[in-house]
Chain A
């Protein structure tokens, strides 16, 4: 389908595709096997300016938006969903600064993040607070001009590898959801340590770690926006970043579709390529249709966000929900098309199926996405829209 990308967007896609094909393809299995962080690839993406596609030019970026970010994430994910998320999680950690940072904070952090010389991460989840984000326990206690952070964040993508962290902590427990605050923290600060690296089912190239705060002293100038709006920062960040996760899911699904089509033409059973069986053709047709539908939804949402539409929670949630369910379905079907070979590590679709699963879980599980969508529907109905 032709989405009438601009010259610049086509350039971004072309360059990302080239790097992904030539440099990522040969190392996909290695990173999946060893769980080694793909620093070499991050460096290549940085040199190509890809970390800056969604950052305004005045801060050293290329001046694009969520759409450009999604295009890069999609292309990377077609080759490796794990390596793609190391890139996309940096955007997740950067969006709070883009959306809520003051001029000084933007000038300090955005140029480095746009250049990709430093990676970023976003930390909300805790052992006892996942979907129920309002249940976070990490405390930022005000002491004079400073805040003292104590607590543990769990499963933070890019944890330990990134240098810039947006961390949501409670500054006033009594105020509940209005008592959270977002801080910009940096690796190396006293009292800021990392826990063990998790061993995962999929996206194994990415690093997932705990952030541990023990009497970590933080200046008030590190607050994003102001005290008390931590959850607003998180929600607005997710609104902008969910199309990115959706694009990751889309890329994984598209990669699986390509694999399946190619394989079905090579595999011969009953004296014919399996692509000649209608049962296989129909699976492929459904896969392709779902992938295209996901793409159309994501691109439309990303364009909406970049045009400055404010109320995007619903569309953003729909993109993530739909694309990730498509990714799970399509990768499972790809394994089916491959038969027993699909179940083997030596073939690519087994990994894609493992990689797809996470997209239904993080940045809000798909149950939570449905809650968000339904809530918007009911709200609108109540307003008589």
Chain B
């Protein structure tokens, strides 16, 4: 079973306080915080490796981004992925989810051989959750999102799809596209041997030219999203804590609500 896991490098939200927004383009200044693999994508990598360990085959990690993304791909190799491909080209920069989905889908077509494509349910920077489904649409493949459990039997895939307060059991033919939640597994730590291997590993880099795809469908040019403004929502005014016996507190509360004409 050959698996492709699409991953994104994102700024570490644990260092959110160091993050800055470029005032001109209204986009994140990515070098202002340490970069990590999008946490949900780590679950996708883990699931890919587990499925490979169970059914044999290879795991290929695929990412689009600047050359620094090599680090994220090497981290995935250290966990146990077999191959890594980076889509990197100046013209890919500034892509929205539409252009990203198109570019990734074209790369997946170029890879050719696969049974399953895994994504994290969303990236913690943009939080759109659109790229997984977008790639599935570009490729015309079945998609199951928010998956917390995968089973494969006789070439059929069965997944538990998380809903608000229940789950759906969904079946699909392979190949299919899956996006996973945190609950699906606990990502492993890389092993020392894995890290050493990953340092020496060859990472395949594909540019626009090597992919021979439409240049007007990638990057900023191929994006239909325009960021008009980014702003921090205004802080809500502080709450007030009422103290005293329950009766007093309830009385004061009612009075206050009346004053504000809520009641």
Contact = CB atoms under 8 A, between A and B. Distances in A.
B196 A8 contact: yes
A47 B192 contact: no
Nearest to A50: B192
B191 interface: yes
B142 interface: no
A48 B189 contact: yes
Contacts of B189: 15, 18-19, 44, 47-48
Nearest to B191: A49
B196 A48 contact: no
B188 interface: yes
Interface string B180-205: 00000000111111111001000000
Contacts of A62: 192-193, 196
Contacts of B199: 7
A11 interface: yes
Interface residues of A, number: 15
A174 to B, nearest CB: 48
B115 to A, nearest CB: 26
Interface string A41-56: 0001001111011000
Interface string A345-380: 000000000000000000000000000000000000
Contacts, number: 30
Interface in B188-231: 188-196, 199
Interface in A1-44: 7-8, 11-12, 15, 18-19, 44
A44 B190 CA distance: 10
A180 B193 CA distance: 39
A48 B78 CA distance: 10
Interface string B91-128: 00000000000000000000000000000000000000
Contacts of B193: 49, 62
Interface residues of B, number: 10
A262 B21 CA distance: 31
A216 to B, nearest CB: 36
A28 B216 CA distance: 55
A47 B49 CA distance: 14
B192 A15 contact: yes
Nearest to A19: B189
A37 to B, nearest CB: 21
Contacts of A44: 189
Contact of B188 (A8, A18, A47, A53): A47
Contacts of A53: 192
Nearest to B195: A11
Contacts of B195: 11, 15
A12 B193 CA distance: 10
A50 B194 CA distance: 12
A50 B189 CA distance: 12
Interface in A92-144: none
A18 B36 CA distance: 14
Contacts of A18: 189
- Select the residue from A11, A12, A44, A52 with max chain B CB neighbours within 10 A: A11
A56 to B, nearest CB: 14
Contacts of A7: 199
Most A CB contacts (10 A, CB to CB) among B189, B191, B192, B195 go to B192
29 contacts: A7-B199, A8-B196, A11-B192, A11-B195, A11-B196, A12-B192, A15-B189, A15-B190, A15-B192, A15-B195, A18-B189, A19-B189, A44-B189, A47-B189, A47-B191, A48-B189, A48-B190, A48-B191, A48-B192, A49-B191, A49-B192, A49-B193, A49-B194, A50-B192, A52-B192, A53-B192, A62-B192, A62-B193, A62-B196
Interface of B: 188-196, 199
Interface of A: 7-8, 11-12, 15, 18-19, 44, 47-50, 52-53, 62
